[in-house]
């Protein structure tokens, strides 16, 4: 894991934490920041910790959708993974999306607008998953609000939250490839700050994790 990165509290009972405690020389890593080398045009990382990203302009199109992935994939060994994204500025149009994608998925699209990707979009509250039109899913979100995305590997589900409230679930991708936290934007000045676990989450993920890991232990 990145130097000085604290293991998120909700994962202290996870299979991954127990594995890493017993295998200090072959630790499995978690996502810890955005990867500025794995993003589309017009999106830039604007802070030293690489947690804040901004859409810098439309390029040649009136609206130019772009995405960025995290530095590490989400290891299934963790059992549960969750991250949150706060909208610092909705920008010109508020076309912002949170989701997941597999390595190699085109980054000139919003999450959910291609194969092997899923995204919950703030401008219309729709959930997109390899389909252009998407489906009605949750409320819109804008400046000052926080949305989250998680994976429950035990139940094979992806879930989303807004301002600490669980919105709904979707079946997980098939796990042939690696899955990465992903953010998408599509109009100038949109800006988001991600929390991969270095700060407390708004959603009570610790309680969710405690119930989930307890359930998993009973099912062994």
The two three-digit tokens of residue 118, written as one number: 């899923």
Structural domains of the chain, count: 1
Query: CA–CA separation, 122 vs 17, rounded Å?
Result: 33
Residues in the chain with pLDDT values less than 70: 1-6, 19-26, 59-63, 131-132, 173-177, 219-220
> For residues 155-192, b (16+ Cβ closer than 10 Å) or e, as one string?
eeebbbbbeeeebeeeebbeeeeebbbbbbbbbbebbb
Residue 88, classed as helix, strand or coil, is strand
Could you tell me which residues come within 8 angstroms of residue 23 by beta carbon, excluding any fewer than 6 positions away? Answer: none
Question: With contact defined as beta carbons under 8 Å apart, do 91 and 189 qualify?
Answer: yes
3-state DSSP assignment of residue 53: strand
Q: Which residue has the tokens 């959930």?
A: 127
Residue 36's domain comprises 31-207
- Angle among Cα 152, 155, 157 to the nearest 5 degrees reads 55
Q: What is the model's pLDDT at position 6?
A: 64
Residue 109, domain member (yes or no): yes
CA dihedral over 120, 126, 129, 135, signed as positive or negative: positive
Question: Cα angle vertex 35, ends 87, 100, to 5°?
Answer: 60
Judge whether 73 lies within some domain.
Answer: yes
- What pLDDT does 129 receive? 86
CATH of the domain at 149: 2.60.120.920
Q: What is the pLDDT of residue 99?
A: 96
Question: 7 in a domain, yes or no?
Answer: no
Distance CA 56, CA 65 (A): 11
Residue 36 domain flag: yes
- Answer yes or no: is 136 within a domain: yes
Phi-psi region of 89 (alpha: psi -120 to 50; beta: other; left: phi over 0): beta
Reading the block at residue 90, the tokens are 């909705």
Q: Which residues of 32-47 are buried (b: 16+ CB within 10 A; e: fewer)?
A: bbbeeebbbebbbbee
Tokens encoding 43: 């999106």
Q: Is residue 35 part of a domain?
A: yes
In a domain, 113, yes or no: yes
The token pair at 23 is: 């295998």
**pLDDT digits 0-9 by tens, 87-102:** 999 998 899 999 999 9
What are the phi and psi torsion angles at 78 (to 5°)? -70, -25
Is the pTM above the cut of 0.85? yes
Nearest to 99 by CA among 76, 68, 138: 68
In a domain, 56, yes or no: yes
């Amino acid at each position: 894991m990145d130097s000085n990165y604290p293991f998120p509290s909700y994962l202290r009972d996870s299979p991954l934490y127990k594995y890493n405690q017993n295998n200090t020389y072959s630790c499995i890593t978690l996502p810890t920041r955005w990867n500025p080398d794995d993003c589309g045009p017009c999106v830039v990382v604007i802070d030293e910790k690489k947690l804040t990203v901004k859409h810098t302009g439309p390029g040649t199109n009136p609206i130019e959708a772009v995405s960025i992935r995290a530095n590490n994939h989400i290891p299934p060994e963790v059992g549960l993974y969750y991250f949150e994204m706060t909208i610092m500025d909705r920008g010109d149009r508020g076309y912002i999306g949170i989701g997941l994608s597999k390595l190699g998925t085109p980054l000139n699209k919003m999450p959910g607008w291609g194969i092997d990707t899923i995204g919950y979009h703030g401008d219309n509250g729709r959930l997109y998953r390899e389909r252009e039109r998407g489906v009605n899913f949750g409320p819109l979100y804008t400046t000052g609000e926080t949305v989250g995305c998680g994976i429950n590997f035990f139940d094979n589900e992806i879930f989303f939250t807004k301002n600490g409230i669980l919105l709904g679930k979707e079946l997980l991708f098939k796990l042939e490839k690696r899955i990465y936290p992903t953010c998408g934007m599509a109009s100038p000045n949109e800006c988001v700050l991600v929390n991969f676990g270095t700060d407390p989450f708004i959603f009570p993920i610790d309680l969710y994790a405690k119930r989930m890991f307890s359930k998993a232990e009973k099912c062994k």
